[in-house]
Amino acid sequence: MTEELMLYGCLDNVASAQEALYNRFSPRMLGVCYRFSRNREDAEDMLQEGFIKVFGQIHQFRSQGALEGWIRRIIVHTCINILKKNKKFTDSVDLIHAGNMYLNENNIPSILETKEVVESVKQLPIGYRTVLNLYAIEGFNHKEISKMLDIEESTSRSQYTRAKAMLEDILIKKKIIQPKERRRMIMGANN
């Protein structure tokens, strides 16, 4: 079914068109939800709520943009709204220091790199993780993030800096990337 037909069907509240649209975009959107959530069950709850909003607001979609991008923005906002209902998240995201994180290398699954990167993101404290997801992956700027999360813009910046450093550390320990210094040494030796 073409995207246009799916849209027409969804506008007419036709179940088969809605299911077709859902089948097309739900795997990637669940990946988005998964990065924001604690576990898969929470991610699926976010996905369900997000798609209900998508179908409820489908008449607001303007064909000029990409449908996937429009759906993704709704899903991300849904994830943030759900996270904000959790007091632990609110406390965490407003802290400059997320505390020390213990990384047990023995528990790191050696599977495909993409999944490892995502799992590494998920190992960040929830406040770091959310800001990093929004800034580095979803493309929001710090001003937008500060409004979305009800925090200071400076807090968003510092959260991101720390999140990035922590993630780099995790990825290096997982041997997915190499430290900058080592890379410079290798590149210098080559030169």
Partner 1 sequence: MERKFYPENFERFLKGHADEFKITPSKKVWHGIYNDLHPGRRWPSIAMSMVFIFTLVIIGHLNTNNGRNTPLDITSLNTPKKSKHAKISQSLVKYETKQLPNNDNTANETDSANTNSLSSIVTAILPSSNADNNITNFDESKSNTVSGNKNENHPPVSVNKISSSDNQATDISADVIDEQELASTTPLNTNNAINTANKTNTDLQPQANAALIAKRIKNNPVTLTYYVSPSISYRSLSDEGVNNSVTHKPMIGYEAGVALGFNLIKKLKFTTGLQVNYSGYKIRANNTHPIIASLFLNSGIPGQYDVYSAMSRYGNNAGAEFTKLKNYSLQASLPIGLEYEFAGNSNVKFITAANLQPSLVLYSQAYLLSTDRKNYMTGPELFRKWNMNTNLGAYASFTTNSLNWQIGPQVRYQLLSTYSNRYPVKERLINYGIRIGISKPK
Q: What does the per-residue mask of binding to partner 1 show for 52-91, with x meaning CB under 8 A?
A: x--x------------------------------------
CA 10 to chain centre: 26
Is residue 36 near partner 1 by the rule CB under 8 A?
no
- Please identify, using beta-carbon distances, which residue of 88 and 115 lies nearer to partner 1: 115
Structure tokens given for 123: 């190992």
Q: Measured between alpha carbons, how far is 83 from 74 in angstroms, rounded to an integer?
A: 14
Chain CA centroid to CA 184, Å: 30
Q: Find the binder of partner 1 among 13, 57, 63, 154 (CB under 8 A).
A: 13
Q: Which residue, 80 or 121, has its beta carbon nearer to partner 1? A: 121
Instruction: Indicate whether 185 belongs to the interface with partner 1 (CB under 8 A).
Output: no
Q: Tell me which residues in 103-142 interact with partner 1 (CB under 8 A).
A: 110, 113-115, 117-118, 121, 132-133, 135-137, 139
Residues in Cβ contact with 58 at an 8 Å cutoff, skipping those fewer than 6 apart: 7, 10, 11
How many amino acids of this chain bind partner 1 (CB under 8 A)? 54
Q: Which residues contact 159 (CB under 8 A, 6 or more apart)?
A: 93, 96, 127, 128, 131, 132, 151
In this chain, which stretch among 29-37, 80-88, 97-105, 144-152 interacts with partner 1, using CB under 8 A?
29-37
DSSP string, 5-33: HHHHHHHTT-HHHHHHHHHHHHHHHHHHH
Nearest distance from C-beta of residue 91 to partner 1, angstroms: 25
| Residues 6+ away with beta carbon under 8 Å from 25 | 67, 68, 71
Binding region for partner 1 (CB under 8 A): 1, 4-5, 8-9, 12-19, 22, 26-28, 30-32, 34-35, 40, 43-44, 47-48, 51-52, 55, 110, 113-115, 117-118, 121, 132-133, 135-137, 139, 164, 167-168, 175-180, 183, 186
